[in-house]
Amino acid sequence: MLRTNKEKLVQISVCGEITHPKNNFPRITTEGKVKFLPGTGGITYNVMLGDKACGFVADHVEPGVSISNSDTMNNNGLNILTSVGNTAKVISGDAKGDLGYVTGMHGGIEHVLVYFPKETLEKLTIGDKIQIKSWGTGLELEDCPDVKVYNTDPDLVEKMNIRVLEDGTLEVPVVTTVPAHLMGSGIGAITAHRGDYDIMTADKEAFDASNLGELRFGDIILLEDCDNSYGRGYLKGAVSIGVVVHSDCVITGHGPGVTTLLTCQSPKIKGVIDPKANIGNYLGILK
């Protein structure tokens, strides 16, 4: 039984609007080519939770629905208080009342990403308001005080098949492990309470060595020697667990984005390979 302090956490509403896609400049690829591509924002009808995160003719594309607020302080609240797995409800427009789930946060653009079923996507429009029952900020694992939890709904944590071993180590199902030298854009961020950072793709041999081309949106992965305790950086022996939130990218230093879920400065998190370790399976979305 995974014991947490969830009964002490505050459930509080946050809200954002579906954003318009952002694309006001060309991308320069790692080969020096100039490309105009779909990217962040909007409603993506054919890029969904569970799809492969690599291979779309796109750059940083976000699955499902992307929301934010034009007011910076309000958007800070949306991004910091929201957790992966929180329930989301459409509160305006033709899809009013329909439900979905938060699947991640995308730093830099400061978007919260939300899954809705395809029938809901067809009713949504840019500008529709999405309200989230935020819950998870301050979550702690009572038997593992050295492990910090970020951006994770307490109910999702309980569904992730995490085991606490006798020595206090957490055993977490993951799809694969990623070496620290592949982590790029987002390193140096002052907090992991929001946003993500990217797995770099420019070195194809290194990327393929961990079978990262098969990653899917929602996959849970282990980041080796990565400390996300008070920001993001390299620390030998540290371990972080994250979820894949956006697609691969053509620009240097970028790639599939990873939002932090768990982190420890010592090797007290152990990954166990499980191809089904995806939040879509835990939330009952993927069949």
For residue 81, count CB atoms less than 10 angstroms from its CB and return exposed for 0-12, middle for 13-18, buried for 19 or more. Answer: buried
Q: What is the topology classification, in CATH, of domain 148-282?
A: tm1086 (SG structure) fold (2.102.30)
The predicted-structure confidence for 102-116, as pLDDT tens digits, reads as follows 999 999 999 999 999
Residue 24, pLDDT > 80, answer: no
Rounded Cα gap, residues 84 and 245, in angstroms? 10
Assigned token pair, 33: 């080519």
The yes-or-no verdict on residue 174 having pLDDT over 90 is: yes
Residue 45: the pLDDT is 96
Could you tell me what percent of the chain has a pLDDT over 90? 83
Lowest mean pLDDT among 16-20, 32-36, 276-280: 32-36
Q: How confident is the model at residue 167 (pLDDT cuts 50, 70, 90)?
A: confident
Average pLDDT over all residues of the chain: 94
**pTM (two decimals):** 0.94
Instruction: Tell which wins on pLDDT, 142 or 25.
Output: 142
Separation CA 58–CA 54 (nearest Å): 9
For residue range 28-76, list pLDDT tens digits in order: 888 888 888 888 999 999 999 999 999 998 889 999 999 999 999 999 9
Q: Does domain 6-134 have CATH number 2.60.120.10?
A: no
For the chain, give every residue range classified as CATH 2.102.30.10: 148-282
pLDDT in tens, 233-253: 999 999 999 999 999 998 899
Instruction: Name the residue with higher pLDDT: 17 or 24.
Output: 17
> Where do the CATH 2.40.10.170 domains begin and end in the chain?
6-134
Label residue 26 by pLDDT band (50, 70, 90): confident
Task: Note the pLDDT tens digit of each residue in 187-233.
Answer: 999 999 999 999 999 888 888 888 898 999 999 999 999 999 999 99
